[in-house]
Amino acid sequence: MQTGKQLAVRETPIPGFLVIDLPVYGDNRGWFKENWQREKQLALGLPDFGPVQNNISFNATVGVTRGIHAEPWDKYISVASGRVFGAWVDLREGDSFGATFTIEIDPSIAVFVPRGVGNSFQALEEDTAYSYLVNEHWSAEAQSEYTFLNLADPTAAIAWPIPLEQAELSDKDRAHPLLDDVAPMLGRRTLVLGADGQLGRALQQQWAGRTDVEFVGRDRIDLARPETLDGIRWSAYGTIVNAAGFTAVDEAETAEGRRVAWAVNATGPSHLARIAAQHRLTLVHVSSDYVFADVEGERDEHDALGPLGVYAQTKAAGDLAVAAAPKHYIVRTSWVVGSGRNFVSTMAALAQKGSRPEVVDDQVGRLTFASELARAIDHLLASGAEHGVYNVSNGGEPTSWAEIARRVFSLTGHDASAVTPISTERYDASRAGVAPRPRHSAMRLAKLEATGFAPRDQFAMLEEYVASLPTA
């Protein structure tokens, strides 16, 4: 047997369902083919779906028919001997629900079946065997997530070469529901860790109404306790957004704070990176401007790391761990302002009390409003931006903490001159246990902007934010 085919990948009416033409080489001894050749097939557009299990189905007689089964994993199916008629129906939630595709498969053709597409075969020759690679291990728990469709469904209207009344079917397959009664298989969900923090709350607003996003707080998943990651069925998710973090910069310099900071900011993300790699998940991890060496000028994504204090060191370690996940977004941000207590709300409260605070004027950066950070994360995921590291903050000219404080005082109707600018050295000298902070926190945003994201000006959002704060 020799087909003379060139290796090729063809699209079909079912989104993501692909037909693969395979060269088969033979002589009087038999035949040979490269059934699965990752490097070549990825170059032609086949997904890198990461198979972990290989199954073989043998059909002794003509007319054996199996299906229609939609399973919670991707499959790569090919024939080892004989011929089969294959029929697939999209049983995933979405516009293509019910779309059907059929093709006869011999050893020179393989198909890639995405998760949730119903799969069925009818043997056209005796002693037919087909194999399939899958990217999740079979388990009884996984089987509970299957979706089924009746082989004789009139909507799918599959033209079986051997009529079903003459075919060999199992009683179980005969009893599957018709399309009108099929509950579509839901897509993989997004899991947000740290739902009770500033960014977590902003993401809840950004993704309000989405049924495919699940928010969890420390009561369910606490990165300081790795055992809380056990028992999660990770194959149900496509994306993890790690909005959790230990952010008490000064407390991280204490013995107990150091332990928790390393657990949450470094060890926890390393576990997430391992999980993401194992289950082919996209991992979004929120990092900090603290990871950079403190030198003048705006930071680029590729600038050398040079963390100063314990908090900064743990965040840098977390970045390095997450970078090992094949599909990751490390989102480095600065000076986050969201719901709850933060620098801006504190300055507004001091202004209302008539206080005259001293604020450092030699630490320069940009504010990042949590809602803008959430919008950027949504954009990176929705746009399919290249994986990697992205600086994310609001736009506008870099400024100092003292200048932001003066603007808050002014926006609340108070005298901006009540804010006294001081140096970092003087501020630190007046307080015990203060962790080192970067003097230069502004980051270049060109890489983010190149994806089509336009950061909003920090001062325009500051005005809106201050106006939303409750007044005494």
* Residue at 2 is within a domain: no
More confident position, 165 or 429: 165
Q: What is the pTM of this model?
A: 0.87
- When pLDDT is averaged across residues 100-115 and rounded to a whole number, the result is 95
* CATH code: domain of residue 331: 3.40.50.720
pLDDT tens-digit series, residues 41-56: 999 999 988 898 999 9
Question: Do 21 and 113 lie in a common domain?
Answer: yes
Residues 111 and 245 in one domain: no
- Residues 313 and 458 placed together within one structural domain of the fold: yes
Q: Are residues 210 and 177 in the same domain?
A: no
**Residue 2 scores a pLDDT above 70:** no
For residues 459-471, average pLDDT: 93
What is the tally of structural domains in the chain?
2
pLDDT at 446: 97
**3 within domain boundaries:** no
Q: Last residue of a domain, which of 134, 154, 181?
A: 181
Give the DSSP letter of residue 266. I
The neighbour count for residue 354, using CB atoms within 10 Å, is: 9
**Pair 238, 286 in one domain:** yes
In which band, very low, low, confident or very high, does the pLDDT at 152 lie, cut at 50, 70 and 90? very high
pLDDT of residue 461 exceeding 70, the answer is yes
Decide if pLDDT at 430 tops 80: no
Active site residues: 69, 132
The answer to whether 19 and 12 have CB atoms below 8 angstroms apart is yes
C-alpha to C-alpha distance for 247 and 261, rounded to whole angstroms: 8
Same domain for 416 and 346, yes or no, is yes
What is the pLDDT at residue 64? 94
Whether 242 and 159 share a structural domain: no
Q: Are residues 398 and 290 in the same domain?
A: yes
CA separation, residue 89 to residues 119, 176, 181, 249 (Å): 7, 14, 14, 54
The answer to whether residues 221 and 161 belong to one domain is no
Domain final residue, candidates 128, 160, 181: 181
Q: Which is more confidently placed, 144 or 113?
A: 113
1 domain-assigned:
no
What pLDDT does residue 436 have?
A: 86
Q: How far apart (Å, rounded) are the C-alpha atoms in residues 207 and 201?
A: 10
Whole-number pLDDT of residue 26:
83
- Residues 6 or more apart in contact with residue 204 via CB below 8 angstroms: 192, 195, 215
| Phi and psi based region of residue 15 (left: phi greater than 0; alpha: psi -120 to 50; beta: remaining) | beta
User: Residue 430 is part of which domain span?
Assistant: 189-468
Q: How far is CA 144 from CA 69, 71, 74, 147, 231, in A?
A: 12, 9, 16, 9, 16
Task: Report the pLDDT averaged over residues 214-231.
Answer: 93
Q: Look up residue 436 and give its two tokens.
A: 């080192």
